[in-house]
Amino acid sequence: MTVPANDAGDGYRPGADEPFMNPRQQAYFRAKLLAWKEAILRESLGTLSQLQLDSLRESDLSDRASSETDWSLELRTRDRQRKLISKIDAALRRLDEGEYGYCEVTGEPISLGRLEARPIATMTVEAQERHERNEKISRDD
């Protein structure tokens, strides 16, 4: 998962020396999320046009099977990206509602480093680890 850098062009990076989720940080993360969403949508359009061009022209059965396998993998990737777009949209809604950057479990600020790496994060690292441990325990039962 590659998250595009912020396209603000001014070299701004949120820092711990400024108020958390101030308007400039909000604008930064909004631009980052929108650029990421746009990149995913662009890539999806490329996949669709390629699928239309390549619509199984192979006459050889093994070549056709190989193409079908490749497209199956590509379509699964697109489905994961569709789900990712939903998460990006949810993060944008949280930005609009003033909840972005705060843990949905503890209400504490999510570290800027975590948000930089995973702008759709909804929990602090500690809350996420607890959640994953509890999930593993539930699966093991």
CA 133/CA 46 separation, integer angstroms: 39
Give the tens place of pLDDT for each residue, 75-84: 788 888 999 9
Decide if 7 is inside a domain: no
The more confident residue out of 68 and 1 is: 68
Q: Which residues constitute the domain of residue 32?
A: 23-140
The answer, as to whether pTM is greater than 0.95, is: no
We report the CATH number of the domain holding residue 78 as 1.20.120.910
Decide if 17 is inside a domain: no
**Residues 73, 128 contacting (CB under 8 angstroms):** no
Decide if 122 is inside a domain: yes
Where does residue 98 fall: left (phi above 0), alpha (psi -120 to 50 degrees), or beta otherwise?
left
Decide if 8 is inside a domain: no
* Per-residue confidence band for 89, with pLDDT thresholds at 50, 70 and 90: very high
Decide if 1 is inside a domain: no
Give the tens place of pLDDT for each residue, 101-127: 999 999 999 999 999 999 999 999 999
Tell me how many domains the chain contains. 1
Cα 77 off chain centre by = 13
